[in-house]
């Protein structure tokens, strides 16, 4: 039998021999969240508000989206708590409903990446506590985001981790294009 030669390319990735269950979910969500926060906050304030893609979103808009996305799934979704602006990262009330304007992410000019990063870190701490204190097969509350047949906590964890991974890949492309752009 040969030794496993695979290694993580990122030393912040949780260990491959760590415990299964809640701690693994918390570790992976923390890793993805913090990796995106560090990458976006490493950009200059002007770069944070500059779009490099045809879709038009900016890195600070992505950071705002991550705050609202995690809140939608864990606080409004799993816990069933009401939140002030569940779609506050969008320019429309609910991007899933018909609208007179094209839905897109928005961030007010006075909002900083540092403020959003702190909100996302605080939300991450709350998410970690939630995951550690609920069973993975527990269903989300009815009455917040969900009606009948709400998903399990494990399903929500998979969904949110997949969303973080997609956005991390998108941000990698934006960072690469930005690094190649003339100053």
Over range 131-159, report the average pLDDT.
96
Categorize the per-residue pLDDT at 4 as very low, low, confident or very high, splitting at 50, 70 and 90.
Answer: low
**Distance of CA 25 to CAs 11, 19, 32, 89, 153, Å?**
17, 10, 11, 25, 11
Half-sphere exposure of 15 (CA within 13 A, CB side): 3
Average pLDDT for 41-49: 96
Q: What pLDDT was estimated at residue 1? A: 58
Backbone angles phi, psi at 152, to 5 degrees: -80, 165
Distance separating alpha carbons of residues 96 and 87, to the nearest angstrom: 10
pLDDT above 60 (res 129): yes
């Amino acid at each position: 039998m040969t030794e496993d030669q695979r290694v993580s390319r990122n030393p912040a990735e949780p260990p491959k021999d760590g415990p299964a269950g809640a701690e693994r979910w918390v570790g992976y969500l923390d890793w993805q969240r913090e990796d995106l926060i560090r990458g976006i906050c490493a950009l200059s304030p002007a770069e944070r508000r500059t779009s490099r893609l045809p879709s038009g979103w900016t890195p600070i808009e992505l950071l705002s989206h991550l705050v609202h996305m995690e809140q939608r799934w864990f606080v409004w979704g799993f816990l069933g708590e009401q939140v002030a602006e569940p779609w506050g990262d969008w320019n429309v009330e609910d991007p899933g409903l018909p609208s007179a304007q094209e839905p897109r992410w928005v961030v007010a000019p006075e909002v900083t990446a540092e403020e959003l990063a702190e909100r996302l870190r605080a939300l991450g701490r709350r998410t970690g506590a939630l995951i550690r204190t609920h069973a993975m097969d527990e269903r989300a509350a009815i009455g917040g985001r969900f009606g009948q047949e709400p998903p399990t906590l494990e399903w929500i964890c998979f969904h949110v981790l997949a969303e973080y991974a997609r956005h991390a890949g998108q941000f990698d492309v934006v960072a690469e294009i930005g690094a190649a752009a003339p100053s």
